[in-house]
Amino acid sequence: MTETRDDNVTWLTQEAYDRLKAELEHLTGPGRIEIADRIEAAREEGDLKENGGYHAAKEEQGKIEARIVQLQQILNNARVGDAPRSAGTVGPGMTVTIKFAGDDEEITFLLASREESGAPIDVYSPKSPLGHAINGKKVGETASYSLPNGKSTSVEIIDAVPYGAE
């Protein structure tokens, strides 16, 4: 069970893993060649100081390289399959229902890697402030975390069931 508490592990479905691996292969192969060709073509247009196409291509190249590093990190730390989980305890791969303190409205979401964004419900990362605060909590418990504005809020865990079992 200690793997579920490891902040470096990213649990992915086989579909998400395959999609990310294909994206990485494209970016490191044809993607790099394509952007290099665009930079070279723009470079041939002349003065680089006032060459918008050149600067745009170089900026895109930087974004591609950053995404390659991000994908490599995700895939190197990925575990394919379902995270160890049990109904009633919040963890990766769980559909979680919470209620904010002082609010009667319940919110339901999947606690999983953002790379699982193909899920039909909202996905919250276990590494987000809310995800980190509720990870490991049981139904009926409350958790507090800091909002971006510096204030603190708390949530009550209403339900936690394995994704797809709800």
Tens digit of each residue's pLDDT (9 = 90 or more) over 88-97: 888 887 889 9
Kindly report the pTM of this predicted structure: 0.55
Task: Give domain 2-80's CATH number out of 3.30.300.20, 1.10.287.180, 3.40.640.10, 1.10.238.10.
Answer: 1.10.287.180
Identify the CA nearest to 131 among candidates 86, 96, 158. 96
Look at strands 94-100 and 106-111 and give their pairing: antiparallel
Domain boundaries, the chain: 2-80, 94-162
94-162 has which CATH code? 3.10.50.30
Tens digit of each residue's pLDDT (9 = 90 or more) over 24-67: 999 999 999 999 999 998 888 877 777 888 889 999 999 999 99
> SS3 for 106?
strand
